[in-house]
Amino acid sequence: MPIERRAINGRLTNPVGLGCMSLSWAYGERPGDEDGIRLLHRAIEIGYDHFDTARLYGLGHNEAQVGIALKGRRDKVFLASKMGLFASGEKRGIDCHPDTIRSELEISLRLLQTDHIDLYYMHRRDLTVPIEESVGAMADLVREGKIGAIGLSEMSADTLRRAAAVHPIAAMQTEYSPWTRQAEIAVLDACRDLGTAFVAFSPVARGVLANGVSNPALLEDNDIRRTMPRFNGENWPRNLALVRQFNAIAAREGVTPSQLSLAWVLSRGDHIVAIPGTGKIAHLEENIALWDWSLPAALADEVDALINQQTVSGHRYAQAILPTIDTEDFA
């Protein structure tokens, strides 16, 4: 049976949505603004109906681009954004105090040129504020009609359950792909138990399972992957050997590596949606082309055995980032 559309806060969306970050930040030189708008328009044309952005991405640039692209098209897209995480140069921080949540939302609404955001996330957990207090402030915004639902990002199953005791949590967003499995420790099950959609970011492994990285030394200086241990000189050769085997499986099945990775992610539960990002229309089209492909169990098991927490070398984040992540981790 093919995969069907999946619900987030009761709204059915394509299980392959669009992560918009790479149009503004993180993976080297960003596309020009006109090219970015053209990509977002094309996404809507070919069936993307879930856009994911954040205040962090390009320090407002991403939300502004999405806002321009959605003029006259707002009703076609389930729109998600995030607040609470900021970065300027080497300075990073988290702020989910109630007053900050409200003020950041007002900025996002202005940049997105809308009067409501369908799904509004805390980008990271603020350990200086009880999660119940932050969720309570977001619940006020739901009652005011400024946001449709509350989401959490990179948080633990325990945090999710505490948050859900205050107000229903529509979505948990966490990195998930064959080579990043922390969500399998507890969060995936907690989401299923609570009726919370699980939104997988980086479902093609930071581009690795999409033929996007051949030699990390060639990545641009401002590409965040340069700071990630899996791409360093010690770990990359071992990881590349896994990628080559993965690519061979995809070729044997007549699909692209990214299509195989996305199908694997979606096969892990009917409460899961994926939001691959790209700055290229060809990749945009490739990622959604097989959105309803139901991966055969034997093929899913083959991928699972090849690339997993035991076979991948290196942590997904640099040591300095780990204190900002609330998600459970492997010992």
What DSSP assignment string belongs to 161-218? Answer: HHHHTTS---EEEEE-BTTB-GGGTTHHHHHHHHTPEEEEESTTTTTGGGT--S-GGG
Q: CA-CA distances (angstroms) from residue 294 to 199, 267, 314?
A: 18, 7, 30
Secondary structure element (H or E) that encloses residue 130, with its range: none
Cα–Cα distance, 176 to 156 (Å, whole number) = 14
* pLDDT tens track for 14-57: 999 999 999 998 898 899 999 999 999 999 999 999 999 999 99
Q: What is the pLDDT of residues 154-190, one digit of tens each?
A: 999 999 999 999 999 999 999 999 999 999 999 999 9
pTM over 0.95: yes
- Residue 57 annotated among the catalytic residues of the structure: yes
Tokens 């321009």 correspond to what residue? 68
How is domain 6-206+263-294 classified at the CATH fold level? TIM Barrel (3.20.20)
- At which residue do the structure tokens 């990881």 appear? 239
At residue 28, the pLDDT reads 87
Check: CB of residue 326 under 8 Å from CB of residue 125: yes
Strands 85-88 vs 91-94: parallel, antiparallel or unpaired: antiparallel
Residue 173 is encoded by which pair of tokens? Answer: 């967003």
**pLDDT tier for residue 89 given thresholds of 50, 70 and 90:** low
Residue 104 CB burial class (10 angstroms; 0-12, 13-18, ≥19): buried
Q: Determine which one of 27, 57, 121, 176 is catalytic.
A: 57
